[in-house]
Structure 1
Amino acid sequence: MIESVEIKKIASYDEHGITLNNLKSINYIYGANGSGKTSISKVLRKPENYSDSRINWKGGVSIQTLVYNKEFIDENFYQDENVKGIFTLGEESQEKREQINLKKKEIDDLSQGNINLEASLKLKKEELDSIESQFEEKCWILKQQYDSDFKPGFKGVRNSKTEFKEKFLQEINNPDILLTREQIVETAQTVFSNSLEKVNLFNSFDVNALSVLEKDLIFEKVIVGKDNIQIANVINKLKISDWVKAGHVHLKSSEGICPFCQQKIPEDLPKQLEDYFDESYNTQINQVESLSKSYKSQYSLISSFVTDILNGNSSYLKLDSIDQQKKLLESKIQTNLILIDKKTSEPSSIVKIKSIAEEISLINIEIDIGNAAIKKHNSLIDNITEEKRKLISQIWRFIVETGKDNHSEYLGNKENVSKAISGISSRIADSKAKIDALSEEIRNIESQITSITPTITVMNRILNSFGFENFRFDVAEEAGQYKIIRPSGESAKDTLSEGEKTFITFLYFYHLLSGSVEKDSITVDRIIVFDDPVSSLDSNILFIVSNLIRSVIEQVRSTSLVKQVFILTHNIYFHKEVTFNKNRAGSDRLTDETFWLLRKKEQKSSIEICEKNPIKTSYELLWHELQKAIDEQSNTLQNIMRRIIENYFKILARVGDDELINKFEPDEKILCRSLFSWVNDGSHIINEDLFVQYSPELNEKYLEVFKKIFKLTDQEGHYNMMMSGIH
C-alpha cells in the first residue's frame, strides 16, 4: 500500500510540489479541471518516468498499480483494432482456486510479517544512526578541545563532523609513538612555522687550559731567597722575605743610606741581598706573574663567552641556569683574582685557587643540550615534508589514544545493533524468497486454469443490462484478444459514440481489476486509480460508474486483490455519488478514508487534506434550501427549483426544457410547461410594486411535477437520495 506520494516538477507542480501523507485504503481527491489531477495519476501509474516525484510504499514493498485515465484509454482502445483479453480464473477449477487462495493468504501473512520486520529494521537503523551521531559528536568535542594546538594536523577535516569522525576511525590503529600534548605543541611550533631558518650551533668553552693554571703548584709554594746566606737566617726567622724584597728595590737608589732607618748600610749588605734573591727566586717570581696574566686572560675569555651566550637570548638554552652558573663563576673569579694578586705581591704566601671547572662544565652541559635541540631543529628543516607528515600522524595517535574509551563504547554498541540489523535483514530476505516461491507456484496454477472467455460473457451481460445493445465484445482471431462488434458482426470500435466509448473503456478497466492481460498475473495484489472516470451526466453513465466504483471500494474493505483505491474527479455530483456510504455520519470521513482538495492558483497547484468530506456543494445546499422553503412556504421556492433543474439537467446533462416536457403524458405536459414558466418567472422577474402571493396549493402541485421530472428521466434514485439527505 502507498503511504505517501510526493509530486514535483511536473506540469503545474513546482520544485516544492505537494505531498499526500498518511494515505488510507480509500482516498478521494477533488479538484477542478486543470488543477493537476492527471499529473498525480501519471506519477502513480509510472513513477519511474518522473525522477523528481516519489512514492513511499508501506514496508518498502511496491504493488501493481492500475490507473484509469486518458493514457489507459489511448493505449487500449485507440492503438489497435483489437484489445487485450482479460484473463480470469475459470469457475470449474474450484480446487485450484482454493490452492491459490491459501498460497495468497500465506503471502499476505509473510508480507505483513515483513512490514513488521521492516518497521523493526527501521528502528534499528535509526538506533545505529544515533550511535554514529553520538560518537561523531564525541569526536567533534575532541576536535574542539585540541583545535587551537593541533590545527595544522586537522587540516581537511576541521569543518565537517562526519569527516573528522571518519579520519578518527582511519587512524584507530596508528602505530606512531605517543607524545604528550606539550611535546606535540613544541614540535608543531617549528614544523608548522611559516619562517623556518637553520640555527648555528653554540661552541662550548675548553676548560682544560684553565684547569692547568688553577692546579699549578706554584700558588701553594713559599717563595723565599737562598737560605745558605748569612742574612737568610734573620729574614727567614722574621718571615720578612717579601718586605725585604720590596726594600731591596729601594736600596739600589739609596746611595748607601738605608731608606727606612737612614743609617749607613753595611758594605756587604747589597751583596748578601743579591745573593739571597738569586736567579731561582726571580724565576719563580716571574712564573707567578706569568700565571697571573694567563689566569686573568682566561677569566676575561670566560666572562665574555658567558655574557655573549646570555645576550644571545637563545630559546634553545636554559638561560636561567647559565646565568646562575655565571654568578657563581664571577664570585669565584673575584676571590681567585685577590689570591693571585696576593701571591704576586707576597711570593712567600701560600694561596689556594678555587676551581671553576664545575661551573664551566655545567654551562657546557646546557650548551650541549641546546645544541641537540638545534640539531633536531635543523634536521626538521632538512626533512620538513616528512616531519610534517610524521607530526600529523603523531597528533592523530594522540587524539585516538585520548578518545579510546569513546571508541570502545561505540564499537560495542554498534556491534550489538549491527547484529540485530543483520538478523532482521536475513529474516526479511528469507521471507521475500518464500513470497517469490509462492508467487511462482500461483502463476503456475493460474496458467492451467485461466481464460478470457468468462470476462466477455460478464461484460456483454452488463452492456445489455444498461441498454447498450448496438455493440458487444467478442473473441478476436488473434489469441488472447477481444474485438468490439456490431450485431451484424462488423467492427464497432471506430463508430462508437463518446458516451459508448466512455462506458466501454470503463467497463473494460473495471473487469481488468479482477483479472489480468497476462495469464500468470491474475491474483497479484493491486492498487486502483480512477482519474475523472466521468466528465458529464450523459444518460445514466455517472450513476452506473459510481455504483461500480463503490463496489471496488467495498472490495478494498474486504479480503480481495484490491488493497487501495484513489478516486480523482472534478465532478461534484459524481463525487457525491461515489463517496456515499450509509455508515457515514454526515460528512465525517471514515477511518479508512482520506479527503483532499486540489487547487491551482497562479499556475501553481497545491493540496490540502480535509477532516470531513469537503464537497458539500452549492447544489446540495439547494436541496436543503428547497426543504426549508417548503416548510416555511417561502416565495423563494421557484428560484430554488429552477436552479436545481438547471444544474442537474440543463447544465450538466444538457437536457432542455422541451426534452423534459416531452417525458410527460399529453395531459401533464401543460402542467410541466407551466412549472418551467413559473420558475423562470419567479426567478428572473423583479417585482417592485406588485406583490404576488403564492398559495400552498399551487406549491404542492408544482412540487409534484418537480418530483415527477426526476422519475420520468430515471433519476428518481437521485431525487430520493437528495431529499433523504436533508432530513
Structure 2
Amino acid sequence: MITSIKLMDVASYSPTSPVTINTDNKKVNLFYGLNGSGKSTLGNFLQSSADPIYQKCEVLPANEDHEILVYNQKFVQQNFYEIPQQKGIFTLSEVNKEAEEAIENADQAIRKIIEFQNQIQIKVDGKKKEITNETTALKDTVWKAKSKHDRTELEFCLDKFKTKDKFLQKIEGSSSPCDSTFKELKKEAKELNEQNGTPRESIQTISFIGNYVEKEQIFVARIVGSKDSYLAELVEKLGNSDWVQFGMQFIKDNGPCPFCQQELQTDFSTSISQLFDTTYQSKQEEILNLKNVYESSISSLELNLNSGAFVAEYIADNSELSTAKALLLTCLKDNLNLISDKYNKPSEIITLLDTTEHIEHLNNIILKVQSEVVAFNDKIKNKKIHLTNITQKFWSLLNSEYAALIQATTEKIINLNQDVENLNVDYKNKNAEKREQENIIIENSKKITNIDLSIKNINEQLKELGLQGFQLDKVTDDSQHYKIIRQGKAEEDVYNSLSEGEKTLISFLYFLESCTGATDQESTVILKRRIIVIDDPISSLSHNYVYDIATLIHHKVLLADFKQVFILTHNLFFFHELLMLNAPSNRPTPYKLHRVTKSDYSLVKDLQRNEIQNDYQTYWQIIKDCMENHNYINMLPNAMRNILEHYFTFIHKKEALKKALEELGKSSSEFKPLFRYINRESHSDSININDFEGIDVDKYIEKFKQVFEKTGYDEHYYQMMGLDKPVAPIEVA
C-alpha cells in the first residue's frame, strides 16, 4: 500500500518545495480540485513514475510489490486511438473447480512468499539503517576534530573539506607516515604566514681574538723585586713585596715612612727603587697590556653578540643560545678580574679559565640556528610548497589519530553489507519460487478464461446506461481482440464516430473490466496487488451519468479486493456521490479526502467532510478568495462565468443575463473580452482560451456585481458574498 507521495518540480508543482500526500494507510483516497489545479499530474506520475520528468518525485514505500492501473487521457489514447481494436480482457467464465483451487493455492503461496520477502526487506532496511548509523557516528566523531583546528594557524588545511563526507574521505585517504606534531605544524605555519615573505638574516660563528692571553705564562710566574737592594732579603723574608711596591707611591723626599711614620734613612728611597727595578716594571706593563687586549677583545665580542642577527627575535628567543652566550661572557669577565688582580699583585700566581670550549659550544649552537635560518628562508622562497607539505602532514596526523576508529567502523560496515548481500540472495531465491506459483496461475487461468465474458459484461453495461446503436464484438471467432460495431453498419472506425460522452463511457467500462482481468493469457491477475487510479471519469459526461459512474466505481472498484484506490475529480456532485455510496455517516471512515488547489503552485491538503461545499458555493468562494489574495486571479473569470451560467439557468433568466452583458459591454469597452467569455455557453469549446493577465481584480468584481444589479438580483450577490447591502440615502424634499 502506498503510504505517501511526493510531487516536486513537475507541471504546476513547485521546483523547490515538495508537496507530500499522506494516505494514512487508507485503502480509498478521494481527491477534489478544480480543473487545472494539478490533479492529473498525480495520476500521470503513478502511471509513469520512471519517466525522467518525475526524477524529483517519490512514492513510498518504493519497493512495494504492486501493479498500478490508471484511467486517464493517456489510457484512452493508448487503447482507443492508437490501435484499430481493443485487446481482449480475460476474466473468469467457466467453472473449473480444480483450476480455481490451484489458482487459489498458488495465490496463497505467493502471499506467503511476499510476506517472507517483506520480512527480509525489513531486516535489510534494519541492516542498512545500522550502516547509516555507523557511518553517521563516525562522521560526527571525526568532525569534532575540525572544531579543534578552526580559527587556528592550521585552518587553511581545512579548505575544500567543509562537509562531513569530504572531511572523512580526506582523512581516510591520508595514510602517509608523519613524525611531526600539531604543535610543530602550527608553529611552522605561523612563521611562514607572519613573516609575510621576509627572509631571515644569517648568523655567523664568533671568534675571540684575546683567547691567546689565557695561555700566557706570566700569569703563573711570581713577579718580585730585585735582589740588589739591601731590602730585598727582608722583603722576601716577609713575603710582602706587593705591599711594599704599592706603598712606594706614598714615599716623599725627606719625609717619614708612609707605613710606620718613623724617620727614614737617607738612602732608603734609593734602596726601594733598586728593589723594583726596570725588569719588574716591564713585567707589570706586560700584564697591563695583556689586560687591555683581553678587555678590548671582550668588548668587541659583546658588541658582536648584541648587534645584527643576534638581536633578532628568532635568535633572542633561543634559550639554548642565550644560555651559552651568558656562560661565555661570565667566564671572560672572571678572567678579566683575575688579570686585574695579577696586575695589582704581581707576586701572586693566577690560573685563567680556558674559554675555548665555551666558544666552540656557542658556535655549535650558532651553526644549528643558522641551519634553521637557511631552512626557513627556503620555506619563504617556496612558501606554497611548504604550506602544501604542512597540509599533507596535518591530514596524516588526523589519519593516525582516527585510524583505529575508522578501521573498526569499516569492519562493522563490511560485515553489515555482507549480511545485506546474504539477505538479498534469500530475497532473490524467493523470486524464483514466486515465479513458479505465478506460472501455476497462468496455466490454470488458461483453462477457465476467455474474452467472451468481458464482451458480455461491457455490452450489458452499455444497455443499462441507455447507450444503444453500438456494441462490442470479437474481431474474428478465434481472435483474442474485440472492436466496437454499429448494428447494421460495416463501419470500421466506429470509435471516432462516437460523441465525447459515448467515448468516455465505453473507454471507462473497458478500463473497469481491465481492473479485474488481464490483457493477455500469459499475465497473472492478483487483485490484492493492484492499485487502481481513476482520473475524472465524468469530465465530458452530462450530469445524467454522474450517479451511474459513481455506482459502477462503488461496486466494481471500491467493493473489490484491490490493494488501494485513488480517485480524482473536479465535479463536487460526483465527489458527494462517492462519499454517500461508500461512507455513510454511521460507519467508520474508510477513506482519506484530499483537496488540490493552485495559486502560484499546486498544493494538496487534507480535506474534512464537513468542509466540502457544492460547486456553486465553491465558485463564490473563489470570488471572495480573489478579493483577499490576488494569486487566484487566473481562476476569477472562469468562476464568474460558472456562477452566472448556473444561477441564471436555474431561475430561467438566461436572456436577461445575455442582455445585461451586452449592455455592460457597450458601456465598458475594456471589459468586452470578459463579457464575451462569460456569455459563451460551451465550456469545452477550445476557442474559449483567454488571456486575462494583468486584470484589476477589484474592477472586475465590481463589473461582476453590476451584472446582478442590472438584472435586479443584487440581493443574491450580497448574500453569497456575505456582505450587507448598502442602504440608499433618503432624499429630503
- Same fold (TM > 0.5): yes
CA distance in 1, matches of 2:352, 2:82: 125
Residue 19 of structure 1: aligned partner: 20
Residue 73 of structure 2: aligned partner: 70
- Read off the aligned partner of 1:113 and give its amino acid letter: F
- Read off the aligned partner of 1:552 and give its amino acid letter: K
- Return closer, same or farther for 1:291/1:107 CA change in 2, 3 Å cut-off: same
Q: Would you say the 8 A contact 1:316–1:371 is kept in 2?
A: no
Residue 129 of structure 1: aligned partner: 132
Comparing 566-575 and 19-28, the one that deviates more: 566-575
Q: Would you say the 8 A contact 1:588–1:612 is kept in 2?
A: no
CA distance in 2, matches of 1:529, 1:382: 73
Residue 595 of structure 2: aligned partner: 597
Residue 534 of structure 1: aligned partner: 538
Residue 399 of structure 1: aligned partner: 398
Q: Would you say the 8 A contact 1:472–1:485 is kept in 2?
A: yes
* Deviation per residue, 1:191-246 (Å, 9 max, x gap): 44462343344333345x65542232211212346658988656644657668989
- Read off the aligned partner of 1:596 and give its amino acid letter: H
- Return closer, same or farther for 1:293/1:25 CA change in 2, 3 Å cut-off: same
Residue 218 of structure 1: aligned partner: 218
The Cα shift of 1:464 comes to 4.8
Residue 308 in 1 paired to residue 307 in 2?
Answer: yes
The Cα shift of 1:510 comes to 1.7
Residue 501 in 1 paired to residue 499 in 2?
Answer: no
- Return closer, same or farther for 1:587/1:606 CA change in 2, 3 Å cut-off: farther
* Residue aligned with 2:203, SS: coil
Percent identity over the alignment is 25
CA distance in 2, matches of 1:158, 1:550: 59
- Return closer, same or farther for 1:18/1:159 CA change in 2, 3 Å cut-off: closer
Unaligned runs of 5+ in 1: 621-645, 652-685, 687-727
- Read off the aligned partner of 1:594 and give its amino acid letter: K
* Residue aligned with 2:190, SS: helix
* Deviation per residue, 1:541-582 (Å, 9 max, x gap): 4444333212233554x3xxx322222233444334433457
* Deviation per residue, 1:392-419 (Å, 9 max, x gap): 2322233334445654664465456545
* Deviation per residue, 1:64-109 (Å, 9 max, x gap): 3222233333333344543222234563665444434433333333
* Deviation per residue, 1:241-268 (Å, 9 max, x gap): 66898999999x99xxx999897659xx
Q: Would you say the 8 A contact 2:88–2:451 is kept in 1?
A: yes
- Read off the aligned partner of 2:471 and give its amino acid letter: R
CA distance in 2, matches of 1:122, 1:464: 52
* Residue aligned with 2:604, SS: strand
Residue 555 of structure 2: aligned partner: 551
Residue 102 of structure 1: aligned partner: 105
Residue 44 in 1 paired to residue 46 in 2?
Answer: yes
* Deviation per residue, 1:369-390 (Å, 9 max, x gap): 4334324323434654443333
Residue 347 of structure 2: aligned partner: 348
The Cα shift of 1:56 comes to 0.7
CA distance in 2, matches of 1:158, 1:483: 66
Residue 515 of structure 1: aligned partner: 517
- For these two proteins, the number of residue pairs brought into alignment is 609
* Residue aligned with 1:316, SS: helix
Which of 137, 142, 148 is matched with 1:139 structurally?
142
CA distance in 2, matches of 1:319, 1:552: 95
Residue 299 of structure 1: aligned partner: 298
What is the TM-score normalised by the length of structure 1? Answer: 0.70
Residue 481 of structure 1: aligned partner: 481
Residue 722 of structure 2: aligned partner: none
Comparing 34-43 and 240-249, the one that deviates more: 240-249
CA distance in 1, matches of 2:28, 2:534: 11
Q: Would you say the 8 A contact 1:81–1:493 is kept in 2?
A: no
Which of 157, 169, 188 is matched with 1:154 structurally?
157
Matches within 5 A, 1:655-666: none
CA distance in 1, matches of 2:537, 2:442: 31
Residue 29 of structure 1: aligned partner: 31
- Return closer, same or farther for 1:616/1:496 CA change in 2, 3 Å cut-off: same
* Residue aligned with 1:222, SS: coil
- Return closer, same or farther for 1:535/1:312 CA change in 2, 3 Å cut-off: closer
Q: Would you say the 8 A contact 2:90–2:517 is kept in 1?
A: yes
CA distance in 2, matches of 1:94, 1:306: 115
The Cα shift of 1:144 comes to 0.8
The Cα shift of 1:585 comes to 4.7
* Residue aligned with 1:60, SS: coil
- Read off the aligned partner of 2:41 and give its amino acid letter: S
* Residue aligned with 1:473, SS: strand
Q: Would you say the 8 A contact 1:90–1:454 is kept in 2?
A: yes
CA distance in 1, matches of 2:326, 2:90: 113
- Return closer, same or farther for 1:82/1:315 CA change in 2, 3 Å cut-off: same
CA distance in 1, matches of 2:45, 2:524: 23
CA distance in 2, matches of 1:28, 1:244: 133
Unaligned runs of 5+ in 2: 618-644, 651-712, 714-733
The Cα shift of 1:167 comes to 1.9
Q: Would you say the 8 A contact 1:3–1:57 is kept in 2?
A: yes
The Cα shift of 1:599 comes to 3.8
Q: Would you say the 8 A contact 2:149–2:155 is kept in 1?
A: no
CA distance in 1, matches of 2:247, 2:593: 137
* Residue aligned with 2:154, SS: helix
Q: Would you say the 8 A contact 2:171–2:396 is kept in 1?
A: no
* Residue aligned with 2:54, SS: coil
- Read off the aligned partner of 2:197 and give its amino acid letter: L
CA distance in 1, matches of 2:500, 2:396: 80
- Read off the aligned partner of 2:483 and give its amino acid letter: K
* Residue aligned with 1:343, SS: helix
Matches within 5 A, 1:559-570: 562-570=562-570
The Cα shift of 1:611 comes to 4.4
Q: Would you say the 8 A contact 2:504–2:538 is kept in 1?
A: yes
- Return closer, same or farther for 1:106/1:227 CA change in 2, 3 Å cut-off: same
The Cα shift of 1:312 comes to 0.9
Q: Would you say the 8 A contact 1:531–1:568 is kept in 2?
A: yes
Residue 607 of structure 1: aligned partner: 604
Q: CA RMSD in A?
A: 4.6
Q: Would you say the 8 A contact 2:571–2:615 is kept in 1?
A: no
Residue 202 of structure 1: aligned partner: 203
CA distance in 1, matches of 2:448, 2:439: 15
CA distance in 2, matches of 1:104, 1:132: 41
CA distance in 2, matches of 1:382, 1:183: 20
- Return closer, same or farther for 1:589/1:617 CA change in 2, 3 Å cut-off: farther
